[in-house]
Amino acid sequence: MSTSDFSPQSARDRLLGAARVLFYNDGIAATGIDAIIKRAGVAKKSLYNNFESKAELVATYIEIRHDEWLQLYARRLENAVTPKEKVLAVFQAYDDHAEFSYERGFRGCGLLNAAAELPAGAPGRVAVRGHKEQVEAIVTAHLGELFPADVAKAQLMARHFSFLLEGAITRAGLEGNGRCVRQAMDMAAEMMEAS
């Protein structure tokens, strides 16, 4: 193996990696620029060469968290064939998120944690809302396949499942594992069977 086989992370990647860990561990407000720079092992100038401000770094962090969830969902969706299995893939992606090996343990949805720290109307909160709406739209589409003759039923059930997911992931954050998400998934499966 030659040295060309190794591609060192860019300063931007190192900054984002440090921010991801620190924002999740300690929160956005409690994480200062100096802590991010220190963990990333870069000069302060590198931060401002890559991000205009901490707010831009936060916005990028939120985008990354969203993309991470979409990747978890895509992996679960690969094995889903039926509409019901596709709905359950969404729950499984949340469970995968809860069971990920975090540095200081699972603290709940990183997006909701971030949104809780941002003021109403802040771009980051808007982005988090967009993520949650996208998740609900995904569930709605799969339920639309399951109940093609009853769009209203699919939409209402998707709304219920969205609330079930958010409650489960919040509770999972308090408990530090995905057990609540798996229980919510079982509830969703029963609701689809009963309909």
Q: Return d(Cα 12, Cα 19) in angstroms, integer.
A: 10
In the structure encoding, which two tokens stand for residue 102, read together?
């975090």
Rounded Cα gap, residues 151 and 166, in angstroms: 23
Cβ atoms 154, 84 nearer than 8 A = no
Give Cα separations from 71 to 10, 130, 189 (angstroms).
22, 17, 22
Q: Which residue has the tokens 């909701």?
A: 112
State pLDDT tens for residues 88-145: 999 999 999 998 878 888 999 999 999 999 999 999 999 999 999 999 999 999 999 9
Residue 8 confidence (pLDDT): 64
Residues in the chain where the model's pLDDT stays below 50: 1-7
Nearest to 188 by CA among 56, 117, 40, 89: 89
Among 91, 93, 88, CA closest to 74: 93
Domain 10-51 = CATH 1.10.10.60: yes
Predicted pLDDT of residue 102: 87
Q: What are the residue boundaries of the structural domains of the chain, listed by start?
A: 10-51, 61-194
- Asked if domains 10-51 and 61-194 share a fold, the reply is no
Four-way CATH pick for 61-194: 3.40.50.360, 1.20.120.80, 1.10.357.10, 1.10.1200.10: 1.10.357.10
Question: CA-to-CA distance for 163 and 146, rounded, in angstroms?
Answer: 19
